[in-house]
Amino acid sequence: MSRLARRLLGAGSALGCLASCLPERPRPGPPQVTILLDKIRVRSPDTLTGTLRAQDPAGIDSVWLTLESTPQLGADGLLQTAFEARFRALIPSGYGPGGRLAVTATARDLDGFVGQRDTFVTVVP
């Protein structure tokens, strides 16, 4: 092995060691979304209330809540890294006891990533 090759190999090894000492940089990803429901059993008709939260280091562009594929709430995240808002969704009549209604919260960050959290509420008599 030539002298130049040994120096290049040594320099490459030194750079590899230095790079491993650097802190890991955060990777972009979707916002973290949380739904906190005030109740998990509802009547039909009724009103479902709770809190919607979204967090993302890039900033929140927008958030929205959907009940059974019907948009109920949409809000601008105001480019903040954390968003929290109370919501109030109307549950129409016509759902029978034992039925499960899907509740979905979605948030989009400034990088275009979309995070989603879904849960269900149960209709009671």
- Domains, the chain, ordered by start: 32-123 (2.60.40.2550)
> d(Cα 71, Cα 54) in Å, to the nearest integer?
17
Provide the whole-model pTM: 0.76
Phi, psi of 10 (to 5 degrees): -65, -40
How far, in Å, CA of 85 to CA of 95, rounded? 27
| CA nearest to 104, candidates 75, 76, 63 | 63
pLDDT tens per residue across all 125 residues of the chain:
677 666 666 666 766 666 566 666 567 899 999 999 999 999 999 999 999 999 999 999 999 999 997 877 899 999 999 999 999 999 999 999 999 999 999 999 999 999 999 999 999 99
